Amino acid sequence: MPVGTLATVKTLTPAQLEEAGAQIVLGNTYHLHLQPGEAIVKQSGGLHRFMGWHRPILTDSGGFQVFSLSELRKITDEGVIFRSPRDGRMIELTPERSIEIQNALGADIIMAFDECPPYPAERSAVEAAVERTFKWLKRCVDAHTHPHEQALFGIVQGGIYLDLRRAAAESLVSLDLPGYAIGGVSVGEPVELMHQIVEATAPYLPADKPRYLMGVGTYQEMVKAIAVGVDLFDCVIPTRLGRHGAALVQGERWNLKNARFREDFTPLDPTCPCYGCRNFSRAYLNHLVRSREVLGIMLLSLHNVTELIRFTQKIREAILNDSFTTEFSHWL
């Protein structure tokens, strides 16, 4: 899922995203609540209509942003009170309020409001967060007014404590939700530890429901997670790299500002079907990036999104052909 934080996948039109093969995009509840506010989005006919995107959308719960971005004021069993970075007023986010906002936004998949502990964190703190997250999940289920239109996914927390992860997964599964996510990863822990967490969690989530690894990932992170059963990812990497003048090309990261591209008149990736690769050269991209032209970050973002979606398409085909572990062995 390309990330469309503020009801736009940065620098790209919905038409370009469709052409890139995006089946679903993510919107951030925390950001949309602050600007423009869910009331405006609802009045306009929901998030799909507001942003002109007619394929599925997933919204997160706002929990991750409240814990990672905000000046936190108070966290209780009831919920979280924080200061709005926009206008300084105090905002309370609870499981009920998160679901109410997500019901108003109207995404196809919505996420339970969870407590995401930082890394590193003491076992006792993580244990408490897992317990609270489960209680909050049940309140989310109760508060959800559109269960037939919007699939509510639960989130497995548990930090780096693999037994807590397993226990959290098993509790969640007892609620028979339409999908499950692995959260609290990619928060600063070593990547090897992240893989261990995913490996110790995914097998306890049902294979016939979507398993979503939040905030991941790169080529290798995706391959390793898919190998243990993950189906769904979201990551800002393709658009963020694009805005920094970098491209994902066949498994590598290239800085297009580099002088080696100055007189390179070949397409960025001759095998890529995106608009940029079909129409422009590396030399032109180098020129645009050096000139800080918006078209440069747009073309690179489009390419990077196209590239990562194509990568998952190739993985899907390999799985269907029973050739995944051989074809992608160099990533495993």
| Nearer to its own copies (CB atom), residue 188 or residue 273 | 273
Closest CA to 169 of 161, 180, 179: 180
Which residue in the set 18, 40, 146, 271 belongs to the binding site for its own copies (CB under 8 A)?
40
Minimum distance between the CB of residue 145 and its own copies, rounded to whole angstroms?
Answer: 23
Q: Quick check: bond before 36 cis, omega within 30?
A: yes
Q: Which residues contact 129 (CB under 8 A, 6 or more apart)?
A: 115, 116, 117, 121, 157, 159
Contact set for its own copies, span 179-198 (CB under 8 A): none
| Nearer to its own copies (CB atom), residue 149 or residue 263 | 263
Among 39-47, 57-65, 72-80, 88-96, which window interacts with its own copies (CB under 8 A)? 39-47
Among 43-51, 161-169, 209-217, 316-324, which window interacts with its own copies (CB under 8 A)? 43-51
Minimum distance between the CB of residue 244 and its own copies, rounded to whole angstroms?
Answer: 14
Strands (E), the chain: 25-27, 57-59, 71-75, 80-83, 90-93, 109-111, 151-156, 180-182, 211-213, 232-233, 246-249, 252-255
| Nearer to its own copies (CB atom), residue 7 or residue 104 | 7
Dihedral (Cα; 143, 145, 148, 149), 10-degree rounding: -110
The active-site residue out of 114, 163, 208, 234 is 234
- Catalytic, 114? Answer no
Pairing of strands 57-59, 25-27: parallel
Token pair 């919107």 in the structure block, residue: 27
- Residue 146 has φ and ψ, to the nearest 5°, of -130, 55
Which residue in the set 1, 3, 25, 51 belongs to the binding site for its own copies (CB under 8 A)?
51
Give the integer Cα–Cα distance in Å for 182 and 201. Answer: 8
| Nearer to its own copies (CB atom), residue 43 or residue 145 | 43
Contact set for its own copies, span 243-262 (CB under 8 A): 262
Backbone region of residue 59 per phi and psi (left: phi > 0; alpha: psi in -120 to 50; beta: other values):
beta
Minimum distance between the CB of residue 7 and its own copies, rounded to whole angstroms?
Answer: 7
Residue 327 in tokens: 């074809």
Q: Which residues contact 152 (CB under 8 A, 6 or more apart)?
A: 99, 109, 110, 111, 112, 140, 141, 144, 177, 178
Which residue in the set 27, 48, 50, 198 belongs to the binding site for its own copies (CB under 8 A)?
50
| Nearer to its own copies (CB atom), residue 284 or residue 324 | 284
Number of residues in contact with its own copies, rule: CB under 8 A?
38
Which residue in the set 18, 23, 35, 146 belongs to the binding site for its own copies (CB under 8 A)?
35
| Nearer to its own copies (CB atom), residue 292 or residue 330 | 292
- Catalytic, 234? Answer yes
Residue 6 touches its own copies, criterion: CB under 8 A: yes
Strands (E), 143-245: 151-156, 180-182, 211-213, 232-233
| Nearer to its own copies (CB atom), residue 213 or residue 305 | 305
Cβ distance 222 to 313 under 8 Å? no
Minimum distance between the CB of residue 88 and its own copies, rounded to whole angstroms?
Answer: 17
Site string for its own copies, 273-292 (x = CB under 8 A): --x---xxx-xx-xxx-xx-
Cβ distance 266 to 247 under 8 Å? no
Cβ distance 111 to 181 under 8 Å? yes
Catalytically active residues are 60, 234
List of residues contacting its own copies (CB under 8 A): 6-8, 10-15, 35-36, 40, 43-45, 50-52, 262-263, 265, 275, 279-281, 283-284, 286-288, 290-291, 293-295, 297-299
